């Protein structure tokens, strides 16, 4: 997708003009008085802003047209709620609104369901975080957000964590040019260690493994250590642990 020339929702965004800030303020004042033509001109004059914002969400697997339309909803909300007396650029206010709308859409369409009250709390916390970021010119602390919301810090943290997008166990977190290391490789297997080792011990092929391979399997599946912890104990890199572990299991399974 090229940034300067994109046909989306039937609109060639390369032909859309970008409004200057003084023109935006003029149109915002007219729109506040009920001038629908000014409101429509504001929407059309800020569609490239929507396009630039949704770039960061293009890897979520959602149709670009859908993200663009959701982003436009955020833009319209920004236009309808922006206070020209704030003394800030319209884009400073609009970008967080557009981002918030897209994130809300992605979370509401997530297979992991979170209660409406918790989502509402999280959205309020996000809005406050954006507001304080602009005011303080830095990322606000949880304590500052909680104080602004008049809520317990724990409730704010729990609500924000509840709407974080889940990460696939098969998402790569490191690649040294060989086999990738995935999220699942970072997780200790304490709950199923016995069942894993019962199956492994039944296989005579374990006798053919090297001492280092046996030690790695023991640390991983008997003691439930992560590959990082095993690497530190054995004295090799995590990538080597991953390769040795997978190689050893492959030998056992193919015997």
pLDDT surpassing 50 at residue 247: yes
The reply to whether domains 112-166 and 172-254 share a CATH topology is yes
Give the model's pLDDT for residue 190.
Answer: 47
At residue 105's C-alpha, the angle toward residues 104 and 106, to 5°, is 95
CATH match for 1-109 among 2.60.120.200, 3.50.50.60, 3.30.1330.20, 1.20.120.1810: 1.20.120.1810
- Cα separation, 124 vs 107, in Å, equals 15
pLDDT surpassing 70 at residue 164: no
Give the model's pLDDT for residue 249.
Answer: 81
Grade residue 112 by pLDDT with cuts at 50, 70 and 90: low
Which is more confidently placed, 98 or 2?
98
Give the model's pLDDT for residue 110.
Answer: 60
Q: What is the pLDDT of residues 122-142, one digit of tens each?
A: 888 888 888 888 888 888 888
- Cα separation, 224 vs 28, in Å, equals 60
Question: What is the Cβ-side half-sphere exposure of residue 85, based on CA atoms within 13 angstroms?
Answer: 1
CATH match for 172-254 among 1.10.10.10, 2.60.40.10, 1.10.3720.10, 1.10.240.10: 1.10.10.10
Grade residue 4 by pLDDT with cuts at 50, 70 and 90: very low
Which is more confidently placed, 17 or 242?
242
Q: What percent of the chain has pLDDT over 70?
A: 71
Q: What percent of the chain has pLDDT over 90?
A: 2
Which region among 7-16, 187-196, 201-210 has the lowest average model confidence (pLDDT)? Answer: 187-196
- Cα separation, 74 vs 72, in Å, equals 5
Helix (H, G, I), strand (E, B) or coil at 246: helix
Q: What is the pLDDT of residues 28-76, one digit of tens each?
A: 889 888 889 988 888 888 888 888 888 877 766 678 888 888 889 989 9
Contact 149, 125 (CB under 8 A): yes
Counting every residue written for the chain, the total comes to 255
Listed by start position, the domains of the chain span 1-109, 112-166, 172-254
The DSSP secondary-structure symbol of 165 reads: P
Measure the CA dihedral 241/242/248/253, to 10°: 160
Q: What is the mean pLDDT of the chain?
A: 75
CATH match for 112-166 among 1.10.10.10, 1.20.1050.90, 3.40.50.10490, 3.40.50.1100: 1.10.10.10
pLDDT surpassing 80 at residue 145: yes
Which region among 22-31, 124-133, 195-204 has the lowest average model confidence (pLDDT)? Answer: 195-204
Tell me what the mean pLDDT of segment 74-80 comes to: 89
Report how far apart, in Å, the C-alpha atoms of 231 and of each of 152, 226, 237, 241 are: 40, 9, 5, 6
Give the model's pLDDT for residue 197.
Answer: 45
């Amino acid at each position: 997708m090229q940034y300067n020339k994109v046909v989306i929702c039937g609109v060639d965004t390369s032909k859309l003009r970008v409004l200057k800030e003084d023109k935006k303020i003029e149109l915002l004042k007219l729109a506040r008085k009920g001038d629908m033509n000014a409101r429509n001109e504001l929407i059309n004059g800020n569609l490239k802003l929507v396009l630039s914002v949704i770039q960061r969400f293009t890897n979520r697997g959602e149709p670009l047209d859908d993200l663009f339309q959701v982003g436009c909803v955020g833009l319209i909300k920004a236009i309808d709620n922006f206070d020209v007396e704030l003394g800030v650029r319209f884009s400073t206010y609009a970008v967080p609104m557009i981002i918030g709308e897209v994130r809300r859409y992605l979370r509401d369409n997530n297979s992991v369901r979170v209660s409406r009250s918790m989502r509402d709390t999280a959205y309020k916390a996000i809005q406050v975080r954006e507001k304080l970021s602009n005011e303080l010119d830095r990322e606000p602390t949880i304590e500052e957000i909680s104080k602004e919301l008049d809520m317990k810090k724990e409730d704010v943290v729990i609500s924000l964590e509840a709407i974080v997008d889940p990460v696939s166990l098969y998402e790569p977190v490191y690649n040294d040019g060989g086999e990738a290391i995935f999220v699942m490789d970072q997780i200790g297997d304490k709950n199923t260690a016995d069942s894993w080792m019962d199956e492994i011990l039944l296989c005579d092929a374990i006798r053919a493994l090297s001492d280092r391979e046996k030690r790695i399997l023991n640390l991983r599946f008997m003691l439930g250590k992560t590959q990082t912890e095993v690497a530190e104990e054995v004295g090799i890199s995590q990538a080597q642990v991953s390769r040795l572990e997978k190689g050893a299991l492959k030998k056992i399974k193919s015997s």
